[in-house]
Amino acid sequence: MHSFNYVITDPVGIHARPAGLLVQEAKKFTSAITLEAKGKKADVKRIFALMSLGIKQNDTIVVKVEGTDEAQAATALQNFLINNL
């Protein structure tokens, strides 16, 4: 399993547009991908689950990736977050 922490820098947090893009990025991989924040977990491949976390600017999230392509998925998602959130 690969995991990493990330602090959200986007002024409005994870809102609809970047959440949709994050889901699209996650769906490129077969690995199970979860995001944890504020004591809650969500499947990153499900937009409503992701949006229900209410992640705001300066919140720290933990992304966990487990599966056959976990290394590639973790790298891609970390790059996505750096470039978009």
Domain boundaries, the chain: 2-84
Note whether 38 and 54 are within 8 A (CB). yes
Which tens digits make up the pLDDT trace of 30-72?
A: 999 999 999 999 999 999 999 999 999 999 999 999 999 999 9
Structure tokens at 42: 């969500």
Which tens digits make up the pLDDT trace of 5-20?
A: 999 999 999 988 999 9
Q: How long is the chain?
A: 85
Q: How confident is the model at residue 85 (pLDDT cuts 50, 70, 90)?
A: confident
Burial of 26 (0-12, 13-18, 19+ CB in 10 A): buried
Give the whole-angstrom CA distance, residue 82 versus residue 23: 15
By three-state DSSP, how is residue 76 classified? Answer: helix
Residue given tokens 């994050």 in the structure block: 22
Under CATH, to which class is 2-84 assigned? alpha beta
Residue 48, pLDDT score: 94
Q: Is the pLDDT of residue 79 over 90?
A: yes
Residue 2, pLDDT score: 94
Q: Catalytic residue numbers?
A: 15
